[in-house]
Amino acid sequence: MKTYRIFACATILAIAAVGCTAASDDVDDAEPIALEATGGGDAAGAAPAATPDAADQARTAAPPAQTQRPNDEPAAGQTPAARPRLVAPVRGTAELQYTKPVIKAALKGGKQFVVTTFQVKNVERGAIAGLKIEEFWYNKAGDIVTGSNYRHPRPLQPDEIITITLETPRNPNMDTNQYKFEHANGMLRMTLVQKL
C-alpha cells in the first residue's frame, strides 16, 4: 500500500512538472512579443527588475521642473513677469498734449488719400479710455466734404505717447480741416506742443 501511494505521488509530481514545463514554454514564446511591445529587456530575454534604489536615482538625476511659486515669486534664475498697471480712467474733461499735424498726399491701392500724422501724450494721472479723434475737411463754403476718424484700441495710460494716423480720401473741394477730440468719459482739452 505504501508503494502504491509513493508511486501515485511520483506520478502526480511528474504530471505537474510536465505541466509546468509546458507553461514555461508558452511564457518563453510570449516573452519576445512582450519585449517588443515594451521596447526593452536584458540579453536573456527577461525584463530587468526595478529596484527602489534605481527609481530613486532616476528621480534625483532628472532636474526638477520649474514652476511658479504660490505667492507669485519667481523661481531661482527666473526674471519676474511684468504685471500690467491698472489705472482708473479719467472722468469728465481730460488733458492731452499733441504735436503739430503733418499733412501729406499719398496713393494707396490706386486711390488718392490725404494722410495726417501727429503724436499725442496723456498728461493726466488716470488712463484715458475710448480715445477718439475725428478729422473733418470743409470746402470754401464751409460745408463738410470728407473726413476720417481714429479710435485707440485700449486705454491710453498716463505719460503714454502714441502716433495718430488719419487717412482721408482726397476730394478736389478740400480746403480746410478741423479735429475733434473726445474720450469715453467726457471731452478732451488739447495743448499744442513743439515736441513730445
pLDDT tens digits, 76-130: 666 666 666 678 999 999 999 999 999 999 998 899 999 999 999 999 999 999 9
- At residue 157, φ and ψ (nearest 5 deg) are -75, 160
The rounded distance, in Å, linking the Cα atoms of 144 and 174 is 9
Q: Grid coordinates in use for 148?
A: 476720417
pLDDT at 176 over 80: yes
pLDDT at 157 over 50: yes
**Which range is most confident: 15-29, 38-52, 180-194?**
180-194
- At residue 83, φ and ψ (nearest 5 deg) are -90, 140
The whole-chain average pLDDT of the chain stands at 74
Q: Is 109 exposed, middle or buried, given 0-12, 13-18 or 19+ CB atoms closer than 10 A? A: exposed
pTM: 0.56
The rounded distance, in Å, linking the Cα atoms of 187 and 91 is 9
Can you tell me the mean pLDDT for 66-78? Answer: 55
From the list 146, 154, 161, 155, the residue with the least C-alpha distance to 116 is 146
Per-residue pLDDT at 144: 94
Percent of the residues in the chain that have a pLDDT greater than 90, as a whole number: 53
The rounded distance, in Å, linking the Cα atoms of 58 and 67 is 20
Q: Would you call 36 helix, strand, or coil by DSSP?
A: helix
DSSP class of residue 8? H
